[in-house]
Structure 1
């Protein structure tokens, strides 16, 4: 079965996610911003979701983790929880 290692930042609005994505693109550290801004408990770990398998995450996030290019910051991705920025480190 496929598996991947990813991290994310969850915020309430698309505007917040877009602003954070710009800050990451400008060189700010993803994990530092996750600790400060993410609403998800994973924020305390710098957004680290650990190793995940298909179906463990909500569908929108699952599709990013298992279909989008590695090491890029994807998003904002909308889910029922809010807006996510997602980065995938590896996929097997």
Structure 2
């Protein structure tokens, strides 16, 4: 059976903006609300929900974070060619 993960993220243009959002999340702001307001990814409309992700679907560093990083922990800012990501992985099977 293929490996899958469930993840959500917020994508922004600058590292400074990602750091500000990370601080807001650490102070208890809802991930979904911040994703809807700030994320430049189409997933932002779904509160940052990426749905089921399989290995190789995301760009390199984000793919590694999803499949090798910690579960249920805010990761980032992670840089990709698209910008800076804040990422949470809540299931890996």
- Give TM-score, length-normalised by structure 1: 0.98
Is residue 64 from structure 1 mapped to residue 59 from structure 2 by the alignment? no
Q: How does 1:42-57 map to 2 (within 5 A)?
A: 42-57=43-58
Partner of 2:89: 88
By how many angstroms is 1:42 displaced?
0.2
How big is each residue's C-alpha offset from its partner over 1:19-40, in whole Å with a ceiling of 9 and x where there is no partner?
Answer: 1001000000001000000000
C-alpha distance in 1, partners of 2:60/2:4? 15
Where do 5+ consecutive residues of structure 2 fail to align? none
2:71 counterpart SS class: coil
C-alpha distance in 2, partners of 1:27/1:63? 26
1:5 counterpart SS class: strand
List structure 1 segments (4+ residues) > 3 angstroms apart after TM superposition. none
2:9 counterpart SS class: strand
Q: What RMSD over aligned residues (CA atoms) do the two structures have, in Å? A: 0.4
Where do 5+ consecutive residues of structure 1 fail to align? none
C-alpha distance in 1, partners of 2:84/2:48? 13
